[in-house]
Amino acid sequence: MKVLVTVKRVIDPYVKVRVKSDGSGVETANIKMTMNPFCEIAVEQAVRMKEAGVVTEIVVVSVGAQQSQETLRTAMAMGADRGILVDAGVDVEPLAVAKLLKAIIAKENPQLVITGKQAIDDDSNQTGQMISALMGWPQATFISTITVNGDTADVTREIDGGLEKLTIKLPAVVTSDLRLNEPRYVTLPNIMKAKKKPMEVIKPDALGVDVTPRLKVLKVQEPPSRSAGVKVADVKELVAKLKNEARVI
């Protein structure tokens, strides 16, 4: 079974995000970048399925700038077999990404597509669902477990009310949640091996997809600073402050 995994290059989650002085966006120059954590979980799941003998080939795909090749190499160092970069520039909206991935999926014909549930930079949480809609495939979002049984997969989804168990037919699209697994550390020997693995670079025009932005960012600004907390002596004082000052009760 072939699995296609999507990965995205984002600002390292441990780096403090700064807004550009002109308010046009987030500062990315000279900032440490890394693989989106949820995408990393998706890659780890595909690798574990390959180690278990369920998967025969793992293809990782990224849509973005040329620097995304580093992210793909990291995924291949984790255990993916080959990579595909759609060189579409930096800012590509979820719908355009989904259309590009649809073209890649039609070409690669995988039985399972695994994406991160969302990217930590824009938090859109849309691409996986859009891929499912464009392909007409079943989907299972926010999965914490997955077991493939022939032409079906049993998954557990994390929902507001608890856990939901589903059985979906393959081919399908699933999006990984935080508790699906814990990604492995990439070793130096595997990093060296990843440099020799094949990587294909494609332009959006070659896939027949228009990536022109449909949205316009008017302004980006940091949230206001939070005021310091206040200690109270007892419950009576807490209730008084909530009632008279905060006016929430």
pLDDT at 90 over 80: no
CATH number for 119: 3.40.50.620
Count of domains observed in the chain = 1
Residue 245 confidence class, pLDDT cut points 50, 70, 90: confident
Q: What is the pLDDT of residue 199?
A: 95
Summarised one tens digit per residue, pLDDT across range 33-78 is 999 999 999 999 999 999 999 999 999 999 998 999 999 999 999 9
Mean pLDDT, residues 165-181 taken together: 95
The pTM assigned to this predicted structure is 0.85
C-alpha 188/C-alpha 59 separation (Å) is 21
Query: Is 47 contained in some domain?
Result: yes
What range does the domain containing 174 cover? 2-221
Going 65 to 15 to 142 to 82, the CA torsion angle's sign is positive
79 backbone φψ class: left, alpha, beta (φ>0; ψ -120 to 50): left
Query: Is 137 contained in some domain?
Result: yes
Mean pLDDT, residues 161-168 taken together: 93
Q: What is the pLDDT of residue 18?
A: 86
C-alpha 126/C-alpha 73 separation (Å) is 25
Q: What is the pLDDT of residue 147?
A: 95
Summarised one tens digit per residue, pLDDT across range 99-125 is 999 999 999 999 999 999 999 988 899
Q: What is the pLDDT of residue 57?
A: 96
pLDDT at 220 over 90: no
Question: What's the token pair of residue 221?
Answer: 């600004």
Question: What's the token pair of residue 204?
Answer: 């959006």
Query: Is 228 contained in some domain?
Result: no
Query: Is 235 contained in some domain?
Result: no
Query: Is 37 contained in some domain?
Result: yes
Residue % of the chain over a pLDDT of 70 = 100
Query: Is 159 contained in some domain?
Result: yes
